Structure 1
């Protein structure tokens, strides 16, 4: 089977920057992990993305690009193109050696029950700017067929877990802005869903209170006291009683948690501690909905860098073993970018990336739109 060399690009709901990674794969197994990096956003870039998310809340068409949404799409596309060029230069990689780029884009709205998901980012323009073909818009086909459109990464988690010697069942827990879990126990298709809020609420709280983009390593939460009554109130939300598959928008719990956790009344440390405990507790609510309780949990995504959150997960998920992706030899910060490289290759091969057991789509679905770079000499994009 042919091996493809692919780049994956991921800009998540945490909005810390563009994750970029190289992966060599046939779309089923992983042959080699390449370099990875983060291209961080500036504060003004984050501000525009956040405005786009706010303006997108009222959209009813996935093609609509009003005001800040259009501006953010152009900016995001250019930033991704620049990130690819700098990454290739920094690692001495010939662009001609890259077969495809998997481009997630930036989610500004995810409302699958209305068959609506919007990831901004111009895939054709990215192909033109980089000279490399691009697979993009990877959620749309699933949502159009009635799926949740998320989580997408489980098909890659399955490939990673196949390389791992750990007691089964294994749960791979990705904590980005939203948290999602993949259950792996030898069944043919991965079994997965969103579990609840991830880093988004903590990040937003720290930004509002201290102007910081995150609770670095969970330091503030470590000094605070968890309001267990607030955690219990948050867990009464109907989402946690739903069986998988299920998915969330980044802002789905913002008002609910702010009200039920009474965040306005808490100092920074107690607020951060309570929000971390909410994330851990909402992850634990998924265990009764899984085919059986996992024996091993592997935490990846930005949440793996929050030591306080990882400790809380260990307490909530005991007696299961909880480790970070770094503990098992994975690059915790690169997994989502690697996943979009992997899915781009699967898309080119016509292999499914979503399944009834991950997104509730009626049948296994491939996805993505292919953009081939157009002839040189075109007019380049500019802000």
Structure 2
């Protein structure tokens, strides 16, 4: 493995929305982005989703975890084997439980197994070192967001908003020298995003998502409910901070008295309102918010963001990026940084007391 210059790295992400596995290649030296490569998506079947869902909130050795890990590993092998030319892989695994102040963080999936099957070096277990150091272990994409802002030639403060199962925001000052520079980044989770909405849809309609916001578009937002959710003390906590997928799960049951459309509209509004609350924690306004993740495909959620936020909101595609693959690309980028012993998180992104180089490397030869 070359110690200098750019590498073709393949990253994979299986997010808290539980829709499937994203994989994407980039060419990078871990500092700058030289070029973007191919990408692909492998959806989870309904049975696979159910197996993973049954293990949510559980820790290694607990019932259902081994079965979920097997689903995750098999899906990744099937998808990643389609790619050629990768020199290493960044494998995030599937987050089943996240409790940085307590038991830690748990991403199922064995990177050592993938290294043997794929015959490639695998960088994995990205979050544990940060949590062990006292950080939140999330979000981890901010160092990549910094590289993206520089790659795009941006000069004003900008925020990347990822709307997956949980929302997270990265404020980037692209005039800083490096992502490690104090003031270059501020990152944190904003609150629940697609996870409770997806759970509501599955429970009430049997569909995994509110595709194109079709159900929410027919409903009316219960603003009193949104205000009650935003009154939770978590939203007042200063960043960095992070959430588990199920931390606000009780919202779904609390909406039992609303019809399907109104409940979907209300949960969509909660996601946007959480972002608005998060912006209050920024040290200075941002010029715009660039949205990535599945939530940007929901026109009702995007409309709620534009209605509730004080700055322009646009999908990352407006700048030529792929919002479906940005997190997979991020773990390809981080894999190269781990390989080269660079920091992957720090005080302004996860709250760790010092810069952290997370991740472990498994090689085919063991």
* TM > 0.5: yes
SS, match of residue 358 in structure 1: coil
Partner of 2:354: 363
Q: Is the 1:178–1:250 contact (alpha carbons within 8 Å) kept by the matching residues of 2?
A: yes
1:16 equivalenced with 2:8 (yes/no)? no
Structure having the higher helix fraction is 1
Partner of 1:157: 145
SS, match of residue 289 in structure 2: strand
Which of 241, 244, 252 aligns to 1:258? It is 252
Question: 1:374 Cα deviation (Å)?
Answer: 2.8
1:100-139, aligned counterparts within 5 Å? 100-114=88-102, 116-139=104-127
Q: Is the 2:100–2:131 contact (alpha carbons within 8 Å) kept by the matching residues of 1?
A: yes
Q: Is the 1:115–1:146 contact (alpha carbons within 8 Å) kept by the matching residues of 2?
A: no
Which of 38, 45, 49 aligns to 1:46? It is 49
1:374 equivalenced with 2:365 (yes/no)? yes
SS, match of residue 348 in structure 2: helix
1:66 equivalenced with 2:85 (yes/no)? no
Question: 1:265 Cα deviation (Å)?
Answer: 1.1
Partner of 1:76: 72
Q: Which whole-Å CA distance do the structure 2 matches of 1:8 and 1:334 have between them? A: 9
Q: Which whole-Å CA distance do the structure 2 matches of 1:228 and 1:67 have between them? A: 39
1:199 equivalenced with 2:202 (yes/no)? no
1:148 equivalenced with 2:136 (yes/no)? yes
Question: 1:165 Cα deviation (Å)?
Answer: 4.9
TM-score (norm 1): 0.91
SS, match of residue 150 in structure 1: coil
1:329 equivalenced with 2:326 (yes/no)? no
Gaps of 5+ in 2: none
Q: Is the 1:174–1:301 contact (alpha carbons within 8 Å) kept by the matching residues of 2?
A: yes
> How big is the alpha-carbon RMSD for the aligned residues of Structure 1 and Structure 2?
1.3
Which of 154, 168, 180 aligns to 2:168? It is 180
Gaps of 5+ in 1: 376-383
TM-score (norm 2): 0.95
Q: Which whole-Å CA distance do the structure 2 matches of 1:219 and 1:75 have between them? A: 30
Which of 207, 224, 227 aligns to 1:229? It is 224
Partner of 1:291: 283
Q: Is the 1:277–1:309 contact (alpha carbons within 8 Å) kept by the matching residues of 2?
A: yes
Question: 1:166 Cα deviation (Å)?
Answer: 5.0
Q: Which whole-Å CA distance do the structure 2 matches of 1:165 and 1:7 have between them? A: 24
Q: Deviations over 1:135-191 (max 9, x none)?
A: 000000000010000000111111111123556220100011000000012343421
Partner of 1:348: 339
In the TM superposition, structure 1's runs of 4+ consecutive aligned residues that sit over 3 Å from their partners are none
Q: Which whole-Å CA distance do the structure 2 matches of 1:268 and 1:166 have between them? A: 41
Partner of 1:36: 39
Question: 1:76 Cα deviation (Å)?
Answer: 1.4
Q: Which whole-Å CA distance do the structure 1 matches of 2:281 and 2:75 have between them? A: 40
Q: Which whole-Å CA distance do the structure 2 matches of 1:71 and 1:164 have between them? A: 41
